Amino acid sequence: DAGVTQSPTHLIKTRGQQVTLRCSPKSGHDTVSWYQQALGQGPQFIFQYYEEEERQRGNFPDRFSGHQFPNYSSELNVNALLLGDSALYLCASSLGQGRTEAFFGQGTRLTVV
């Protein structure tokens, strides 16, 4: 049983560019959440998708957007990249909307230069 898989594992982008990160949830899970983790900090919630809709959003600008597909996989898009967007981006899947443990992927390390 595959856990949560994210791609790519590492990415280098130039300031101003756009990036798309991908996530496949754990088998049987229908909810995907995205987090941003800066170096030395805890993960910060970006948004959560359930039934192909964004259900909740953290304190992130509209440059951050996402999508969930019918097979529950998800994408995170970031437009107009800033140097401060450099971080580890984590995808977490769960069954239902909260109150259960989240299973995290290994993350995508994004570096903006």
| List of residues contacting other proteins (CB under 8 A) | 4, 31, 33, 35, 40-45, 48, 50, 55-56, 58, 88, 90, 92, 97-107, 109
Least CB distance to other proteins at residue 92 (A): 8
Least CB distance to other proteins at residue 16 (A): 27
Q: Are 106 and 92 in contact (CB under 8 A)?
A: no
Q: Which residue, 13 or 55, is less far from other proteins as judged by CB?
A: 55
Q: Which residue, 17 or 41, is less far from other proteins as judged by CB?
A: 41
> Which residue type is seen at 98?
G
Least CB distance to other proteins at residue 23 (A): 11
Q: Which residue, 85 or 94, is less far from other proteins as judged by CB?
A: 94
Cα 69 to Cα 10, 80, 97, distances in angstroms: 23, 24, 17
Q: Which residue, 50 or 64, is less far from other proteins as judged by CB?
A: 50
Least CB distance to other proteins at residue 106 (A): 5
